[in-house]
Amino acid sequence: MSLVGRSLIRIDDYSPEEVRHVLAVAADMEQRIRDSADLLAGRILATAFFEPSTRTRLSFESAMHRLGGAVIGFQDGQTSSAAKGETLADMARIIESYADLIVLRHPVEGSARLAANYCRRPVINAGDGGHQHPTQTLTDLYTIQRTRGSLDGLHIGLCGDLRFGRTVHSLLRALQHYDVRVTCIAPPLLQLPERYEPAGRPVERTAEIEPALADLDVLYVTRIQRERFADAGEYEAVRGSYIIDPGLLQRSKPELLIMHPLPRVDEIAYAVDEDRRAAYFGQAAYGVPVRMALLALTLGAVDSEGLAGPERNGHEWATEPRCPNPDCANRREEYSVPRLWVIDQTRRRCDYCDLEFTT
């Protein structure tokens, strides 16, 4: 199977072998980051960002420029015709006539899947609400692999907003293919939703960071996603739940890897930046070679033939009822057709947002 022309909506869209290939190409791109200027000459990347972004948008743009391509797009949905009422489907079909590939960030879960359903060009999900962020996961895997040599055998702690943190949701789906132990550290209100827990690979859960920290090889910290809370009181109740500072880190391993997808608010003290174990700025920098690899593979500039693709379980599909998740694109975009995996006689799973529900 090949990665050419394929959309990346959730990390599961790539098989473990395909993920490893992306990481291998990323390592090559990192070595010749200033010597790849013609790989995508004449190709155009469109970035459609309906939510704020610094690292994801700029690293995609940097990656495309370093590969010799061009970039068009917008960084605020209010400057697009969405402000006039244009649907996401129509927008996607218009943009694909101007570019070879679309990178989409949107506040609604499942929006990238919906856009891809209406496009012939590949769509890359740069974050869809609190759902997934697969290209950040590729960057996270690359960071751990490059720093530690391998992921297998590691104890990884995910700390902070695991309820709305889309980077964590994608990362957990990828980690199920490695021999790792995962501990989710969050207050009950922010714990990991069951729909993101890997099948057959239960995670440990705790609200106490100090007892968990001593045994961790990787600490992956996330900010509390203030913009996802419908109730301001709930946010105030959990803000500042964890602050990683030098005092707390005295209880950790000398070789601990401290990661964060950024931006941070107050969950990692600035004093930690001087700790040699702080990897988050390097993690952000690795986003460029990782996204260079992804763009080059998707647009066929680098070979990906013969890879084993993701498993297809032969799901039976249903087109009713509509997904009950109020934050799902299938609810927000009324013209969209429900697409549901039939799990059994009564259970369905939405292909847009991954919500599992009973009919």
Q: Which long-range contacts (CB under 8 A, 24 or more apart) does 175-181 make?
A: 175/151, 175/201, 176/200, 176/201, 177/16, 177/19, 178/151, 178/152, 178/154, 179/151, 179/152, 179/153, 180/151, 180/152, 180/153, 180/154, 180/155, 180/156, 181/154, 181/155, 181/156
CB neighbour class for 189 (10 Å; exposed up to 12, middle 13-18, buried from 19): middle
105 has catalytic annotation: yes
228 has catalytic annotation: no
43, 66, 121, 133: the active-site residue:
133
Going by C-alpha positions, the residue among 273, 258, 251 that lies closest to residue 157 is 258
6, 43, 105, 339: the active-site residue:
105
56, 167, 183, 298: the active-site residue:
56
84, 120, 276, 312: the active-site residue:
84
20, 55, 155, 201: the active-site residue:
55
84 has catalytic annotation: yes
Q: Do 194 and 169 touch, CB atoms closer than 8 A?
A: no
Two structure tokens written together for 247: 């005092």
218/305 Cα distance (integer angstroms): 33
74's CB contacts (< 8 A; 6+ apart) are: 47, 48, 49, 80
As annotated, the active-site residues are: 55-56, 84, 105, 133
